Amino acid sequence: MSNIGYAFDLHDTLVFSSAAWDKAFTKSVSEENKKSLSLLLKNKVSRKQIAKLFQLDFVEIEESYREGLTINPKVFNLILQLKAVYYPVLLISNAKLHRVNADLDRLNLVELFDKVYTFEDGKKPDYSYINNIITEQQLDLLIMVGNNEQEDVFHHPKVLNLLIQDLHVRTDNNEPNRVLS
């Protein structure tokens, strides 16, 4: 029997983090700075650096971010369905542990995952890091669900990559697979 596990990215996969950061910062900057802010956020500039640049209190921005953080219901329901039939469900994030834990705590998602991997464990999509996870979990196949081609596509023979774009999931070959429901 094959051991199949599922892994999910957290930010902008399970939770709508970019929208929450955007909202938190946008309400704190002047109208003339909003375009610059948008570019910095899209280019994944450190949120602390952005706050410093605009002379904002990062602690307040981060609190506002967490208040605006919401769950992607389609991904959440998929995880619940997988857990209901006893598939191992992992979280693999490039964010630091304290941020992942704070976000999971805020949305009561801590118990959702069998194992959480963060920046402190390794960095996606590093082959040896992903291989170590597959070995540790004793998996024959890891199905990775994410949103970012650079971080969430693992070039490993035991990985099937699914990218979420809008409401669709697509496989490595860019063909629509199915709509999550």
The predicted-structure confidence for 76-132, as pLDDT tens digits, reads as follows 999 999 999 999 999 999 999 999 999 999 999 999 999 999 999 999 999 999 999
Q: What is the pLDDT of residue 56?
A: 95
Whether pLDDT at 171 is above 60: no
Which band of pLDDT confidence, cut at 50, 70 and 90, is reported for residue 174?
Answer: very low
The predicted-structure confidence for 115-124, as pLDDT tens digits, reads as follows 999 999 999 9
Give the rounded percent of residues in the chain with a pLDDT score beyond 90.
81
Q: Is 13 in contact with 152 (CB distance < 8 Å)?
A: yes
Question: Span 12-40, mean pLDDT?
Answer: 93
Domain boundaries, the chain: 4-16+70-179, 17-68
Closest listed residue to residue 92, CA positions, set 43, 157, 137: 137
Q: Which CATH superfamily is domain 4-16+70-179 in?
A: HAD superfamily/HAD-like (3.40.50.1000)
Burial (Cβ within 10 Å: 0-12, 13-18, ≥19) of residue 138: exposed
pTM: 0.86
Dihedral (Cα; 162, 135, 101, 93), 10-degree rounding: -40
The predicted-structure confidence for 138-151, as pLDDT tens digits, reads as follows 999 999 999 999 89
Burial (Cβ within 10 Å: 0-12, 13-18, ≥19) of residue 125: buried
Q: What is the pLDDT of residue 177?
A: 41
> Which residues lie closer than 8 Å to 32 by C-beta, 6 or more apart?
none
Q: What is the mean pLDDT of the chain?
A: 90
